[in-house]
Amino acid sequence: MDLAAKLGVRKPAHCEAVDIETSLAAAESWGYPIVVKNEHTCGGKGVVIARDARELTAQIPPTAGSWPWPRRLKLSVKKALFDFAGFGSGLLSGTILQSFVCGVPAFRTLAAWNGRVIEGASFVAEQMHPAPTGASTVVRYIENEEMDHTAATITAALGCSGFVSFDFMLDRKTGRASLIEMNPRSITTTHLGVLFGRDVCGAFAARLSGASLRPARAAETDSAIALFPKELERDPESPYLKSHEVIHDVPSDDPALMAAYLKRLKAIHSRRANSAGLTAWHLFEGVDRPSSISG
């Protein structure tokens, strides 16, 4: 986020949550609500929206050194690993604050080589679990020039090679995209670009092997995509799971994995175990469902 600020891309205000005084001063300057984010987390875990000073104070110890010793040890190890990997000194507290940005979560996932974007695909979330900060469960492919430009600018500045992903808050009316996070890895939608003529994984494999990449064939639809198993976990009776207009990201080529998740789904939805199991198996076996893809 420091680099993004220097590059002048659209982003929320941010600072490290070193102590309560610094955090409250930032919140007073920006206004509530404030987003509190623990570094090195994923899927929305470790993200809290503080709506007033009391909620913010509850998330921030008086000083970074007052964290419980297990967390201090964990942060120290992570900091050492990040230093060794060349990612910089890292945060003392492991927590950052961001000013709140209205919009819906969106993300761009791409493959790069020596700072040049080889291929990328962008998606916007239609459902999340748990809302409003949890992982995406239903997504839709989009095109957004600002997301493309921001991702390419930071990728070039860092000289990235490999899979890189960027999270945004997207204003659906204006198309303005505010960068809120970067992850140096693939995400749950990286493999989905091929459905829309954006074969991110294939392009990277071709770059490594030197083989020519066969042009990806775009899907003739702008259908929403239900992510496995997240939408099933959110609601086994979701209308997305029953719709013939939705693409289902189901790993149908791995029956052992599907069987394991069926047990998990029944445990999560113990009161609706029969419903969860029936919906899951219909999806797994493609009964009266639109085309599925292997995840």
- CATH number of the domain bearing residue 140: 3.30.470.20
Q: Do 63 and 135 belong together in one domain? A: no
85 and 10 within one domain = yes
Q: Lowest-confidence range among 95-109, 127-141, 194-208, 214-228?
A: 214-228
Contact between 99 and 31 under an 8 Å Cβ cutoff? The reply is: yes
Residue 121 and residue 25 in one domain:
no
The tokens describing 102, both together, are 């209205």
Give the count of alpha carbons within 13 A of 3, CB side only: 13
- Looking only at the bridges linking them, the beta strands covering 95-99 and 177-183 are unpaired
Residue 177 banded pLDDT, cuts 50, 70, 90: very high
- Which residue range is the domain that position 245 belongs to? 225-295
Lowest average pLDDT, out of 10-19, 142-151, 249-258, goes to: 249-258
Predicted structure pTM score: 0.83
Is the domain of 140 the same as that of 200? Answer: yes
Residue where one domain finishes, among candidates 202, 222, 242? 222
Q: Is residue 89 scored above 70 in pLDDT?
A: no
The residue from 83, 99, 115 where one domain ends is 99
Residues 88, 108, single domain; the answer is: no
Q: Are residues 263 and 277 in the same domain?
A: yes
Shared domain for 239 and 143, answered yes or no, is no
Contacts of 129 (CB under 8 A, 6+ apart): 135, 137, 230, 231, 233, 234
- 105 and 88, same structural domain? no
**Tokens standing for residue 21:** 């005084």
Examine the domain organization and report whether 105 and 218 are in the same domain: yes
Cα separation, 191 vs 193, whole angstroms:
6
Q: How many domains does the chain have?
A: 3
Q: Who wins on pLDDT, 274 or 205?
A: 205
Residue 277: pLDDT band (50, 70, 90) is: low
User: What is the tens place of the pLDDT at every residue in 149-166?
Assistant: 999 999 999 999 999 999
Q: Are residues 87 and 133 in the same domain?
A: no
Listed as own residue / partner, the contacts of 264-273 with beta carbons closer than 8 Å and 24 or more positions apart are: 264/229, 265/229, 265/232, 265/233, 265/236, 268/233, 269/236, 272/236, 272/237
**Which of the residue ranges 55-59, 77-81, 146-150 would you say has the lowest mean pLDDT?**
77-81
Residue 183 and residue 44 in contact, taking contact as beta carbons nearer than 8 Å: no
Verify that 157 and 65 share a domain, yes or no: no
Tell whether 274 and 205 lie within a shared domain: no
**To 10 degrees, what angle do helices 273-285 and 255-268 make?**
160
Instruction: Round to whole Å and give the CA distance between 217 and 203.
Output: 13
Residue 64 in this model has a pLDDT that exceeds 70: no
Of 189, 222, 255, the last residue of a domain is 222
> Who's near 71: CB < 8 A, 6+ residues apart?
94
Phi (first) and psi of residue 216, to 5 degrees: -70, 140
Q: Is the pLDDT of residue 175 over 80?
A: yes
294 has which bridge partners?
Answer: none
Q: Determine the pLDDT at residue 19.
A: 85
* pLDDT the model gives residue 279: 59
Query: Which residue type is seen at 181?
Result: E
Question: Which residues are registered as beta bridge partners of 112?
Answer: 117, 162
pLDDT digits (tens, 9 = 90+) for 203-245: 999 999 998 877 777 766 778 999 988 998 898 889 998 888 8
